Structure 1
Amino acid sequence: MWDTTRFAYHVPTLSFSFEHDIRTRLQSLHLRARSTFISLQSMSRYHLTFKDVPPILTEPFILRGYRSTHQPWSYYWKSLFHKHNETINVWSHLVGLFSYTIGQIILFIVGATFFAFDIPQRFWPGALDFIGQGHHLFHLCIYFVTLLQMHGVYWDYETHQKIIDQRSKPDLIFCAGSIISLILWDIVIVWYFRRRLGDKDHAH
């Protein structure tokens, strides 16, 4: 018969060693994180303070770590990989930009594929005549593309509200002119394709 006393004898030892090992690892991790944080804080590649940059580029209660103005593009490109008071902000913007942009591209390609290759109705002819055809899925994907664009615009406005508010607001003439221009271009596109279709009909 299996001797359970030996198992019971070793359990407290295993438990104690496991807890001790976890405690030691957590302490080591804490010390490493603390030393890394201190080393990052001690880095001073960008020495400018809030007094050295234009007021529009300063943040309340942020005193140092500002980048120089009127520098070549290479200066700001390289600053992406160094520590300053905008490093986290810049990378969070890039993550948001890529997530919105890549999401829109993927959705548009997927929707265009459904529409261009008649998917999925080509696999079930007659079964998706009223709902579920590729054209419907294309519109659904475009809906989500527009939703991502709206979220992206809102996110951009929220993160750059101070700069955007200082710019001139679009007036009624500008908005009306944009709408009229869009309608005129739509008319030109419709006229062009109707003419091309008419030429093909006459050719046949």
Structure 2
Amino acid sequence: MLSIKLPQLLRVHQVPRVFWEDGIISGYRHPTSSALDCVLSSFQMTNETVNIWTHFLPTWFLELENPRLSKVLRTVAFAYPFFFDNLPLFYRLLLCSSGGFSCGQEALSASHSYHLLCALLTGFLFASHLPERLAPGRFDYIGHSHQLFHICAVLGTHFQLEAVLADMGARRDWLAAHCPPSSLAATVATMGLAVAGNLLIIAIFTAALLRAPQACLLLQETQPESIGRAKGQ
């Protein structure tokens, strides 16, 4: 029989401080895991398993060198596209509230409300580290804030798309009369630019990571005696 040995999981005191999460005590993967270990850990219950399965594209941030700055940048990375994408909605709501603009039924649909609620919950969970802060160790595998954050983000995206489709349906006649028709070539070109931009960002940060020898040193700042004790148990 073919047997596969799953990677060893560590407790919080066995990994470098830069990887510590508030209120998460156990279920940490080894910071220098091999590529095979990373793949196998996707099918092992760790404190990142749910996160892995809710998104597949990894990010690279100043995480090792400056964790606090990394947290700020990650928060901005979520907040900026949210406000940018919703500027038309905020503008419409401002005009509706001023009374000088005739708003149709699509102005404040249920999908808009659910989308904004999920967005607020997403930001709150990402910044607060609740509920694991209230009961450290109880939510290491299921129910910690990062998992709930992913779920709220996915739901928020769903309701946002539903709201966009509702707006398009309600304004179809106006769009047909005032906007140029879309073509397959324009759609493909837009998708190509988006993919090229994402690949460029990944390439830039990957190159920066490979050029930073201090990153390897930070990854090795484990406590050998703690790991040794864990292996002997």
TM class by shorter-chain length?
0.3 to 0.5
- Ranked by relative contact order (alpha carbons within 8 Å, sequence separation 6 or more), the top structure is 2
Determine which structure has more spread, i.e. the larger CA radius of gyration.
1
TM-score (norm 2): 0.41
- Relative to its length, the structure with more helix (as a share) is 1
TM-score (norm 1): 0.46
